[in-house]
Amino acid sequence: MMHFRSGNAFLSFILVICLMALTGCDNAPSQPQQQELLLQGKTMGTTYNIKLYAPEQKLKNNTLHSDIEAALKDVNQSMSTYIPNSEINQFNRLGADEVLAISDDFRVVVAESIRLGFATKTLDVTMGPLIDLWGFGPDKKPTQRPSQEALDSMIANIGVDKLTLNEQGLSKSVAGLELSFSATAKGFGIDKVAELLEQKGITDYMVEIGGEMRIAGHKPNDKAWVIAIEQPDAPKGERRIHRTLELGSMGIATSGDYRIFYEMDGEVYTHLIDPQTGMPIKHDLVSVTVLHPSAMTADGLATALTVMGTERAKAYAEANNLPVYLISKTADGLKTYSSPAFAPYL
């Protein structure tokens, strides 16, 4: 099983309507030539659910489930900080300017993580030690707020600008720099499974890992996949639907600061941390949903925009033509915003 540091966007809060009642989602009968298949399991410290439709001959006597398990195990072995000999831990143990030859999968994730880090300034896959400092990693919450000196020292020694990716592999300019793909690896796992399905000729599917997902095609009788965004201010212990979407073929991720937090000395500290200030975020933006063909990119962007706050997230979405849906908390209740690129999905 794979586990990641808490922090960044690793708890996302999208519900899949069809997973609420897997056997009762479709009122209309499936087309005779299409067989429904549900595959479930555990990965990355959470669960996965895959629902697909395909001709019976494509599913009969196949190794699909074992192939998916093998693909996700490979992602774990590459990117889990909880596996001592994982690829990411091999890199984290390197000294300054030492080069690690990396796998193709690792290269894809680190390249996109670096790109998003430079583009957004609020997603930083090197900030695992900073997340730990605030008590959202393996250690318990601190007994007191980290000192400004400790934060300044930490900030000076993190950043994607200290990574070098080239044909030889990956290196870092600062000893002690560590990677954590908690905001991108889960989405990559989803993309990996989706690619595997498509290689087998399966084009109508929904892949979900820990709340993030990617869908393609449709259900029988041309019925669309229906996805729901969770209500962020639901009573404690309840999960309610905020609104539903019909997306077509798309990756979707939601990030929020409303489930992982603690209180200390009268202050509330969330697991989402601004790498520029070293501080847990404190603003009105409570939920960000991002659509993108890649679940990995949607996953990373959802975290980055949440850290930005409402106004910066709006500006970034519009400047980059991103389909984004924001939920902010105001004195008058929840306020929503959908970017121009998101409008077709409402």
- Per-residue pLDDT in tens (0 to 9) along the chain, 346 residues: 444 443 333 333 334 444 433 334 454 444 447 899 999 999 998 999 999 999 988 887 789 999 999 999 999 999 999 999 999 999 999 999 999 999 999 999 999 999 999 999 999 999 988 888 888 776 677 777 888 998 999 899 999 999 999 999 999 999 999 999 999 999 999 999 999 999 999 999 999 999 999 999 999 988 999 999 988 877 777 888 899 999 889 999 998 755 566 677 777 777 788 999 998 888 889 999 999 999 999 999 999 999 999 999 999 999 999 999 999 999 889 999 999 999 999 8
Q: What pTM was estimated for this model as a whole?
A: 0.87
> Please, are residues 298 and 212 in contact by the beta-carbon 8 Å criterion?
yes
**Tokens in use for 257?**
């600061």
**Tokens in use for 299?**
């996953």
pLDDT at 266: 74
pLDDT at 233: 79
The size of the chain, in residues, is 346
pLDDT tens figures, 87-135: 999 999 999 999 999 999 999 999 999 999 999 999 999 998 888 888 8
CA R_g for the chain: 20
Phi, psi of 75 (to 5 degrees): -60, -45
> Please, are residues 247 and 127 in contact by the beta-carbon 8 Å criterion?
no
Question: Quick check: helix, strand or coil at residue 196?
Answer: helix
Compute how many other C-beta atoms are within 10 angstroms of the C-beta atom of residue 260: 15
Element containing residue 85 per DSSP (H, E): none
pLDDT at 282: 84
pLDDT at 139: 65
Q: Is the dihedral of CA 121, 123, 125, 127 positive or negative?
A: positive
The C-alpha atoms of residue 116 and residue 126 are separated, in whole angstroms, by 13
pLDDT at 260: 67
40-50: buried (b, 16+ CB within 10 Å) or exposed (e) per residue? Answer: eeebbbbebbb
**Tokens in use for 272?**
């989402």
> Please, are residues 51 and 37 in contact by the beta-carbon 8 Å criterion?
yes
- CA angle in degrees (0–180, nearest 5) for 128-43-77: 65
**How buried is 263 (Cβ within 10 angstroms: 0-12 exposed, 13-18 middle, 19+ buried)?**
exposed
Q: Which residues contact 10 (CB under 8 A, 6 or more apart)?
A: 4, 182, 183, 186, 210
pLDDT at 134: 84
Q: Which amino acid does the sequence have at 67?
A: D
> Please, are residues 247 and 292 in contact by the beta-carbon 8 Å criterion?
no
